[in-house]
Amino acid sequence: MTWNPFYVGDGTPKDVDLGEPPPWRAFPRHSPHELFRPPPGLVEAVNAALVLRRPLLLTGAPGSGKSSVIGQVAAELKLGEPLRWHITSRSTLVDALYRYDALGRIHAHRMGATGDDIAPFLRLGPLGTALLPAKHPRALLIDEIDKSDFDLPSDLLDVLERGEFEIPELARHHADDVGIREWGGDGLHTIVKGRIRCETFPFIVLTSNGERDFPAAFLRRCVRFTMPAPTTASLRGIVAAHLEITQEHSASVDALVAGFVERLAAGESLAVDQLLNAVHVLTGAQAPAPESVQEVLDLVLRELSRV
């Protein structure tokens, strides 16, 4: 089957079978941590961060596997499902610690739906949940920290150093003990006098695409590791881990990998998942017709810095 039976542009309704998606685009999403192969030096960096109770700052190109590290470590060390904080330019430290729906509380109070109960309007954020007292550390991914506002890395310093923070709304509340929900779940945790203090520092992985520099004070509080540039051998291993390549397609996939490495060496901006997309298109049951292959590969392997 090719994708000729799919969209043809004639406006005629038809039933189509799109086949199976790539493994990394199957929903609900599952962390492919068992497929991740750590490059040389990464295991030592992870263990140093674990022993020192310091965040691990991973820098590397998009698609180099940085965000896969947290899933593999959490699974191997039985740390539970990792918490995730995806950074944008609008992300703030307070959002990561807790969320307070002040307007919702005011509205509910006016409607007579609640008394002075503040708990339904509070929820811990991903970092706040990771800092809850626990016997075993929680795993937390702070993804693409270099996308943040300029001040956020500095704002994180005190919390990461002290492992505690205060929720002002609870510190002022008349009740000493208030149960609030954690991030990503409905479990209630009792917060005493508005302060959360961790007992075991969480395993925190911060990722960066290397698009900005960070303050020295922030860097010295992290164990840092730079993901190495992909090689032909490492990319072949990644492709083999995600996709089953038949003998029929072996030579064409090798050529695709070699060309990908050459483009990276020439300074082009490409991500490893683009290569996986290209291999899936080239070798899948719904591959395009031979005369269309190059045009499709040019689409999925388009340089990231190009509009």
In degrees rounded to 5, what are phi and psi of residue 8?
Answer: -120, -5
* Residue-wise pLDDT tens digits, 32-82: 677 788 999 999 999 999 999 999 999 998 878 899 999 999 999 999 999
Residue 307 confidence (pLDDT) above 70:
no
Within the chain, where are the H helices?
Answer: 42-52, 68-76, 93-97, 102-110, 126-130, 152-162, 168-171, 216-219, 232-242, 247-265, 272-283, 293-300
pLDDT recorded at residue 285: 80
pLDDT at position 113 over 80: no
pLDDT tens-digit series, residues 176-189: 999 999 998 878 89
Nearest CA-CA partner of 196 in 221, 168, 224, 223? 168
120 vs 110, residue with greater confidence: 120
Tokens 């609900």 sit on residue? 28
Q: Which pTM does this prediction carry?
A: 0.87
pLDDT in tens, 140-180: 999 999 999 999 999 999 999 999 999 999 998 888 999 99
Is it the case that residue 116 has pLDDT exceeding 70? no
Cβ–Cβ < 8 Å for 140, 82: yes
- Mean pLDDT value across the chain: 90
